[in-house]
Amino acid sequence: MPAPRHHVIIGSGSAGFGAATTLRARDPDCRISLVTLSSLPFYNRYDLPRIFKGCHDWRDLLPIMPAKYDELGITLRRNSRVVDVDGKAQLVLFAHNERLHYDCLLVCAGGRGYLPEILADQRHLMHDFASFEAAMKVHDALPRRGTVIMLGGDMLGIDLALNLLETGYKVTLITTPQTFWPHRVDDDTHARLIAALEDKGVRVVGGSTPVAVEEGPPNGSARRVVLQDGTEIAGDVVMPFCGLVPAVEFMLSAGVDIERGLLVRPDLRTTGENIWAAGDVCQIWSDKEKEYKFYHGWRNVRYMGELAARNMTGSDEEFKAGKDRGIWLDDDNAIQSSFWEN
């Protein structure tokens, strides 16, 4: 009797979690290893702004409790950093020197926040929002009615900004070319969206590029952002929201083609044998546009994970992007985005 197939999933976000549960439903006898760098099981990162509304227990963000993974026969490997993938030997290599063999590998590693090179050396003076732990650090660093200086303002950042305003904090948005990423908007739409944010209470600063983040003076605000024109913006916390960069470094020797992300066919298979990819980490071939494209947003990411899992277990489906309604203002002059839709 052949040994059960071993499916390894790198990344436990929406794509990875959806893939793991789909694999279990389709192949009751297979082994499933779900690998994550996080110390926590899957939670929807789009729910993290709830922290500023009193949700301080990470268990309240979980769709299923940790014991459920055992019931489903899913081995959850937390706090595990993947440093390399050997595509020929079908091995995942960890920072702690362990090697894990796979029959099928699904890469759902997502992306990290992009930061302009000029600010890279000051990363330690900024807060990210990529995990529950990071979000709690922001919460703890913000004094009551404190000010967040937001750089860029992609759609994850805009969602956070609106939640912060609702809970009594202040937001200063310094616009960059990544404002409203991943949407591309014309000048007229950009102006109307900015006006809508200002109506909600966001202080918007545009027209000059951030060139430095500094510690504030001893008796003043904790942080200061310096713009190219010499303007200085004071606040309590600085947060970059300038889009995502796919996390692909550990795949460089895996024998798969990489452009900005992992290149995959419409069925989400990479150019490497027995390796698939899903979510923000991959670019999908579009026959219509004759190019590889990213498809962002929670709805697309979850769908990709489930689709990849079906194809790993014998299906032959192609990714079909839902209608992208873009970004718009509703009848109440509130910003709406297909990026946020689930």
Tens-digit pLDDT profile for residues 8-55: 999 999 999 999 999 999 999 999 999 999 999 998 888 899 999 999
The residue ranges of every structural domain in the chain are 6-112+245-312, 115-242
Q: How far is Cα 161 from Cα 179, in angstroms, rounded to an integer? A: 13
Per DSSP, 164 falls in state H
Beta bridge partners of 104: 7
What is the pLDDT, as a whole number, of residue 274? 95
Q: How far is Cα 70 from Cα 166, in angstroms, rounded to an integer? A: 39
The arrangement of secondary structure in 6-112+245-312, i.e. its CATH architecture, is: 3-Layer(bba) Sandwich (3.50)
Does the structure show a pLDDT above 80 at 342?
no
Domains 6-112+245-312 and 115-242 share a fold: yes
Beta bridge partners of 232: 226
Helix (H) or strand (E) holding 141: helix 132-141
Tokens coding 173: 């948005």
Does the structure show a pLDDT above 90 at 1?
no
Q: How far is Cα 252 from Cα 84, in angstroms, rounded to an integer? A: 8
User: What would the mean pLDDT of 334-341 be, rounded to a whole number?
Assistant: 92
Helix/strand/coil percent split, the chain, to 5: 30, 25, 45
**Residue 182, preceding peptide bond in cis (omega within 30° of 0):** yes
Q: How confident is the model at residue 2 (pLDDT cuts 50, 70, 90)?
A: confident
Q: How confident is the model at residue 285 (pLDDT cuts 50, 70, 90)?
A: very high
Core vs surface per residue 257-290: b (16+ CB within 10 A) or e: ebeebbbbeebbbbebebbbbbbbbbbbbeeeee
Q: What percent of the chain has pLDDT over 70?
A: 100
Per-residue pLDDT reduced to its tens digit, 61-75? 998 899 999 999 999
What is the pLDDT, as a whole number, of residue 341? 84
Strand order in the sheet with 82-86: 82-86, 91-94, 99-101
Per-residue pLDDT reduced to its tens digit, 107-151? 999 999 999 999 999 999 999 999 999 999 999 999 999 999 999
The highest-level CATH class for domain 115-242 is alpha beta
Per DSSP, 291 falls in state E
Per-residue pLDDT reduced to its tens digit, 300-320? 999 999 999 999 999 999 999
Does the structure show a pLDDT above 80 at 180?
yes
Strand order in the sheet with 31-35: 74-77, 31-35, 6-10, 104-107, 275-277
Average pLDDT, the chain: 95
Q: Provide the 3-class DSSP secondary structure of residue 280.
A: coil
What is the pLDDT, as a whole number, of residue 288? 87
Selected residue with higher pLDDT from 288 and 267: 267
Give the pairing of strands 31-35 and 74-77: parallel
What is the pLDDT, as a whole number, of residue 251? 97
